[in-house]
């Protein structure tokens, strides 16, 4: 049985409606400089895949998933390919903390392990539910909940929110 193709909006309409979300998430995951490149790469990948889509359901989540994967690709490309004992560690920058409303919070978010950082950013910057976060990370909604929960617990401890 052939899947019936749902009518998709013109790609330009999709771009007009969601470009801010894509750029905001890309910058949150990869920083301002790399974030713009990540957003561009995400739109290129979305444009290439768009004619093959069979459903118009939750296009925003689809775009943010592509964006998160492009940001992950940038982080992976920065890592050394083979361990070198004398090489200094490679810094993987997230967003420039000074550009966000709460720089102390974003400095703490940048310090989280990669999957926790991506999960909490998708959840609170990308405004995805746990199914969307799970799809972007290639995991289950339960694992997504755990990653976000662990990230929030670490942030509370780091920022002293439990002391109040």
Instruction: Give a yes or no: residue 70 inside a domain.
Output: yes
Instruction: Give a yes or no: residue 2 inside a domain.
Output: no
Q: pLDDT band at 90, cuts 50/70/90?
A: very low
Taking each helix axis from N to C terminus, what angle separates 32-49 and 11-30, rounded to the nearest 10 degrees? 150
Judged against a pLDDT cut of 90, whether residue 11 lies above it is answered with: yes
Range of the domain at 50: 11-79+95-163
Tell me the C-alpha distance between 110 and 32, whole Å.
Answer: 13
Q: Residue 108 CB: number of other CB atoms within 10 A?
A: 19
Instruction: Give a yes or no: residue 65 inside a domain.
Output: yes
Mean pLDDT, the chain, integer: 81
Tell me the C-alpha distance between 137 and 47, whole Å.
Answer: 21
Its pTM stands at 0.62
What is the average pLDDT across 57-75? 89
More confident residue, 154 or 105: 154
Instruction: Give a yes or no: residue 89 inside a domain.
Output: no
Tell me the C-alpha distance between 41 and 116, whole Å.
Answer: 23
What is the average pLDDT across 139-151? 90
Instruction: Give a yes or no: residue 21 inside a domain.
Output: yes
Instruction: Give a yes or no: residue 4 inside a domain.
Output: no
Q: What is the CATH number of the domain that holds 116?
A: 1.20.140.160
Instruction: Give a yes or no: residue 43 inside a domain.
Output: yes
Q: pLDDT band at 33, cuts 50/70/90?
A: confident
Judged against a pLDDT cut of 80, whether residue 67 lies above it is answered with: yes
Q: Give the per-residue pLDDT at 38.
A: 93
Judged against a pLDDT cut of 90, whether residue 136 lies above it is answered with: no
Judged against a pLDDT cut of 70, whether residue 117 lies above it is answered with: yes
Q: Give the per-residue pLDDT at 84.
A: 47
Q: In total, how many domains does the chain have?
A: 1
What is the average pLDDT across 82-109? 59
Instruction: Give a yes or no: residue 158 inside a domain.
Output: yes
């Amino acid at each position: 049985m052939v899947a019936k193709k749902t009518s998709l909006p013109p790609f330009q309409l999709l771009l007009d409606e969601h470009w801010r979300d894509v750029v905001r998430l890309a910058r949150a995951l990869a920083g301002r400089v790399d974030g713009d490149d990540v957003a561009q790469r995400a739109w290129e990948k979305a444009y290439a895949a768009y004619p093959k889509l069979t459903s118009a359901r939750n296009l925003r989540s689809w775009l943010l998933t592509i964006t998160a994967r492009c940001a992950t690709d940038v982080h992976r490309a920065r890592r050394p390919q083979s361990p070198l004992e004398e090489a200094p560690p490679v810094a993987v920058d997230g967003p420039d903390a000074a550009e966000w409303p709460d720089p102390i919070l974003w400095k703490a978010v940048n310090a989280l392990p990669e999957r926790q950082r991506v999960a909490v950013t998708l959840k609170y910057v990308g405004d995805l539910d746990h199914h969307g976060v799970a799809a972007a990370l290639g995991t289950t909604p339960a694992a997504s909940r755990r990653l976000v929960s662990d990230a929030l617990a670490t942030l509370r401890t780091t920022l002293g929110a439990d002391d109040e």
